[in-house]
Structure 1
Amino acid sequence: MIVNNVLDLSSQVSSFELFTYDRGFVERVGRDYFRDIDYSLTVVEFDHHLEAAAQDGARLTPLEILQGITNYRDVEGAIAGLEVLVVNGGGYFNELWCQPHRVIKMLKMIAPILIAEDLGIRVVFTGNSYGPFGPRSAFLINILASLRNAVFYARDRVGSIAELHAIGVPESRVRFVPDDLFILNDRLNLRRRELELPDSYVAFETYQPIDVLASRRHVLERFDAQMSGRGLEVVTVPMYAGRGGQDQAEWLAREFGWRMSSLDSGYLTLEDAREVISRARILLSERYHGLVLALANSTPAVHALRSVMDDKWYYYRKSLGIIDTALRGVPYSQREFMATDPFQALDRVGTDLEEIQRVQGEWFNKGLQANIEVARETRRRMLEDIIGREHPRD
Structure 2
Amino acid sequence: MKIAITGPLADKNLGDYGMFINNIYDLSSEHEYTVFSYNSDFVKSLKQDFLSDFNLDFVDVDLKQKEQKKPSILDKVKKLRRQILSLDRKKYPTPLEIINRCENFDEIKNKIIESDVLVVSGGGYFNDLWYNWKRSDDLFKIIIPIIFASYLKKKIVFTANGYGPFDDSSSFYSMIFSEAKGAYFGCRDEKLSPLYLSDIGVYKYEKLPDDLYLIHDNLLNSNKSKCYGDYIIIELYDSISMFSKNLESLRNIVSYFEEKNITVVFMPFDINKKTEEFLRKNIANKNFVFYEMNDYLKLNDAIDMIKNAKLVICNRYHAMVLSVANKTPIINVIKPVGDYRYYYNKNAGFLDNAFGSENINYNDFIKSSLDDVYYLIKSEYDSFCERQNKIYDLDIYLSNKNKLKEKRSKYFDNIVNR
* 2:23 aligned partner: 5
Q: TM-score normalized by structure 2?
A: 0.85
2:201 to 150, 168, 186: 168
What secondary structure sits across from 2:184 in the alignment? Answer: strand
Structure 1 position 230 matched with structure 2 position 247: no
Per the TM alignment, residue 208 of structure 1 is displaced from its structure 2 partner at its CA by 2.2
Specify the alignment match of 1:96 in structure 2: 129
Query: Which residue is equivalent to 1:48?
Result: 65
Question: How far apart, CA to CA, are the structure 1 residues paired with 2:417 and 2:130?
Answer: 31
Higher radius of gyration, 1 or 2: 2
Correspondent of 1:185 among 195, 216, 229: 216
Alignment of 1:199-218 (within 5 A): 199-218=229-248
The answer to whether the aligner puts 1:239 opposite 2:269 as a matched pair is yes
Cα separation, partners in 2 of 1:356 and 1:156, compared to 1, 3 Å: same
Q: 1:239 to 1:329 in 2, by over 3 A?
A: closer
SS in 2 for 1:322: helix
Report the residue type matching 1:48 in the other structure.
Q
Greater shift, 197-206 or 136-145, is seen at 136-145
Out of 17, 22, 30, which is 2:47 matched to?
Answer: 30
For residues 227 and 161 of structure 1, do their structure 2 counterparts lie closer, same or farther at Cα, with a shift above 3 Å needed?
same
Closer/same/farther in 2, CA of residues 313 and 51 from structure 1, 3 Å limit:
farther
Alignment of 1:33-112 (within 5 A): 33-49=50-66, 58-112=91-145
The answer as to whether partners of 1:238 and 1:246 remain within 8 angstroms in 2 is no
Matched, 1:298 2:327: yes
Q: SS state of the match for residue 92, structure 1?
A: strand
Q: Which residue of 2 aligns with 1:322?
A: 350
For residues 247 and 74 of structure 1, the distance between their equivalents in structure 2, rounded to whole angstroms, comes to 43
Count of aligned pairs between the two proteins:
380
State the AA in 2 paired with 1:113: I
| Structure-1 separation of matches of 2:225 and 2:110 | 44
Do the aligned partners of 1:236 and 1:249 also contact (CA within 8 Å) in 2? Answer: no
Amino acid across the alignment from 1:20: S
- Check the 8 A contact 1:253/1:260 in 2, yes or no: no
Contact 2:263 2:287 survives alignment (8 Å): no
Q: 2:393 is paired with a residue of what secondary structure?
A: helix
Q: Is the 1:286–1:305 Cα contact (8 Å) retained in structure 2?
A: yes
- SS of the residue corresponding to residue 311 of structure 1 reads coil
Partner SS state of residue 16, structure 1: strand
Q: Could you tell me how far apart the structure 1 residues matched to 2:32 and 2:282 are?
A: 43
SS of the residue aligned with 1:352? helix
1:248 & 1:86 partners in 2: Cα distance?
40
Q: Which amino acid in structure 1 is aligned with residue 93 of structure 2?
A: L
Q: Which amino acid aligns with 2:134?
A: H
1:11-30: per-residue Cα shift (whole Å, max 9, x none)?
5x421000011112211111
Q: TM-score, length-normalised on structure 1? A: 0.90
Does the 8 Å CA contact 1:203/1:282 hold for their aligned counterparts?
A: yes
Q: Shift of the alpha carbon at 1:50?
A: 6.9
Distance in 2 (alpha carbons) for counterparts of 1:239 and 1:51: 34
CA deviations 1:236-291 (Å, max 9, x no partner) are 11111226965566557666651222223x22111111111111111110000100
**Residues 1:353 and 2:381 aligned together:** yes
Q: Is the partner of 2:59 in helix, strand or coil?
A: strand
Deviations 1:359-381 (CA, angstroms, capped at 9, x unpaired): 11121111322222222111111
Q: What does residue 368 of structure 1 align with? A: 397
Contact 1:15 1:38 in 2 (8 A): yes
Report Cα offsets for 1:107-127 as digits up to 9, x if no partner.
110000000001110111100
Match for residue 307 of structure 2?
278
Of 312-321 and 371-380, the range deviating more from structure 2: 371-380
Distance 1:322 1:233 in 2: 29
Asked if 1:138 is matched to 2:174, the reply is no
Q: Distance in 2 between matches of 1:44 and 1:149?
A: 24
**Which residue matches 2:412?**
383
| Comparing 247-256 and 159-168, the one that deviates more | 247-256
Q: Which stretch of structure 1 is more off in the superposition, 137-146 or 319-328? A: 137-146
Please state whether the residue corresponding to 1:48 is helix, strand or coil: coil
* Cα deviation, residue 51, structure 1: 9.2
Consecutive unaligned residues of structure 1, counting only runs of 5 or more, are: 390-394
CA offsets 1:80-133 (integer angstroms, 9 cap, x no match): 111100011000000001123111111110000000001110111100100011
Q: Can you list the C-alpha shifts for 1:338-357, whole angstroms capped at 9, x where unaligned?
A: 01133432332233211211
Are the aligned partners of 1:223 and 1:347 in contact in 2 as well (CA < 8 Å)? Answer: no
Task: Assess, with a 3 A threshold, how the Cα gap between structure 1 residues 181 and 159 changes in structure 2: closer, same or farther.
Answer: same
Calculate the aligned-residue CA RMSD, in Å. Answer: 2.3
